């Protein structure tokens, strides 16, 4: 009988595992893939996300450091820069593998290459069935990401208005060429996907190029992606990888009587930028802390409700207003993005949202007060 079983070895699962191990509860982490494994993602790690890590990233994990952004809408563009790093670019395969090793350091039990088939809540424990056997624990954390179905033991699958779809590829390039084209900047292209955007991010040996939007407003993602590549002078044959992103800010059930959902499985994602790593890491940590409190201090299992309250207090309002902001912007794209690309101050202030120095609610209040957005 474990204290907690964690389903998923991505950033949320490994962050939960590391925190659980350091708190001293008996933990089993189950991951279906063998690491390192490929993960389709732009690889942007915000300073906000970095602040939750209780260790430094080694230099060989960091592929690029970014101080600003170039935002493009049709024939308009604007560049903004800070005098500090605002984002770090990593390869998700290397980054996720490093997080798994940091979790392993704490002495927890980790099984890779073992797929979880289902979780079942009993009156006094959770039963977890995998491709290789059955395990029992007092509690479980499902951190399987947006793609999995194990979380349906707690909540229903998102409908087409509650998630987006992204396509991403890696375009090989020389580091000097990437430096010349992008420098310390990421490119964000609006107006190329309904309810979303396209991106070009610098890495050591390649550009991460992707496009994403809301499913109902993004009917031909592959065609849009191929056009986006050509419009940005990428003419090779590239392998496209797709994945789902849940829109944050939507009310979802994130817990059962003995099971907690964390990260993308819980829908903790910025609805405008699509950034989820910060919330994946932190929600995994909070889940482990709440379960450890029950196991070590003899609290009532009903105290699991504290998880929802803590997540809400830390980032719930921020994600709620990210959804309001996204819907506002994409409801009036011509006016909104022309304003965004035509005023450096608006974009400069938004970089503070990315840093979590201000939240979306404060940003919207500031924008309405200063620019009378309607």
Residues 126-162: pLDDT tens digits? 999 999 999 999 999 999 999 899 999 999 988 888 9
Give the pLDDT score at 372. 64
Q: Which of 126-130, 300-304, 353-357 has the highest mean pLDDT?
A: 126-130
* Count of CA atoms in the C-beta half-sphere (13 A) of 370: 11
User: Under DSSP, is residue 165 helix (H, G, I), strand (E, B) or coil?
Assistant: strand
CB 144 within 8 A of CB 33: no
The per-residue pLDDT of the chain, averaged, comes to 94
Other C-beta atoms lying within 10 Å of the C-beta of residue 339: 17
Look up the pTM and report it.
0.95
- Kindly tell me if the per-residue pLDDT of 373 is higher than 60: no
Closest CA to 212 of 276, 130, 126: 276
Domains and CATH numbers, the chain: 2-63+88-159+247-322 (3.50.50.60), 163-245 (3.30.9.10), 331-370 (no CATH)
Helix (H) or strand (E) holding 78: strand 76-81
């Amino acid at each position: 009988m474990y204290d907690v079983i964690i389903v998923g070895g991505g950033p949320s699962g490994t962050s939960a595992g590391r925190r659980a191990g350091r708190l001293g509860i008996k933990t089993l982490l189950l991951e279906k893939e063998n690491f390192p494994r490929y993960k389709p993602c732009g690889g942007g790690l915000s300073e906000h996300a970095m602040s939750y890590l209780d260790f430094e990233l080694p230099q060989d994990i960091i592929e690029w450091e970014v101080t600003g952004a170039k935002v493009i809408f049709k024939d308009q563009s604007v560049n903004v820069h800070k005098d500090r790093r605002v984002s770090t670019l990593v390869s998700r395969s290397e980054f996720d593998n490093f997080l798994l090793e940091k979790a392993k350091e704490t002495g927890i039990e980790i099984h890779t290459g073992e797929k979880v088939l289902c979780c079942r809540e009993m009156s006094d424990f959770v039963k977890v069935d995998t491709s290789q056997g059955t395990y029992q624990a007092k509690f479980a954390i499902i951190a399987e990401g947006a793609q999995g179905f194990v979380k349906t033991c707690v909540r229903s699958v998102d409908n087409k208005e509650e998630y987006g779809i992204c396509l991403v590829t890696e375009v090989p390039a020389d580091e000097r060429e990437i430096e010349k084209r992008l420098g310390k900047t990421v490119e964000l292209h609006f107006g190329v996907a309904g309810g979303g955007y396209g991106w070009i991010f610098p890495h050591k040996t390649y550009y991460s190029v992707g496009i994403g939007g809301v499913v109902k407003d993004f009917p031909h993602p592959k065609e849009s992606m191929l056009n986006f590549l050509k419009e940005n002078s990428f003419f090779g044959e590239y392998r496209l990888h797709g994945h789902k992103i849940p829109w944050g800010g939507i009310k979802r059930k994130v817990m059962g009587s003995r099971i907690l959902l964390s990260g993308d499985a819980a829908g903790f994602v910025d609805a405008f930028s699509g950034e989820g790593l910060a919330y994946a890491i932190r929600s995994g940590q909070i889940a482990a802390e709440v379960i450890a409190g029950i196991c070590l201090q003899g609290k009532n299992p009903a105290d699991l409700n504290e998880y929802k309250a803590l997540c809400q207090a830390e980032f719930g309002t921020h994600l709620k207003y990210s959804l309001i902001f996204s819907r506002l912007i994409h409801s009036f794209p011509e006016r909104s993005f022309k304003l965004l690309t035509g005023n450096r101050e608006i974009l400069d202030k938004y970089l503070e949202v990315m840093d979590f120095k201000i939240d979306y609610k404060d940003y919207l209040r500031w924008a309405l007060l200063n620019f009378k957005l309607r």
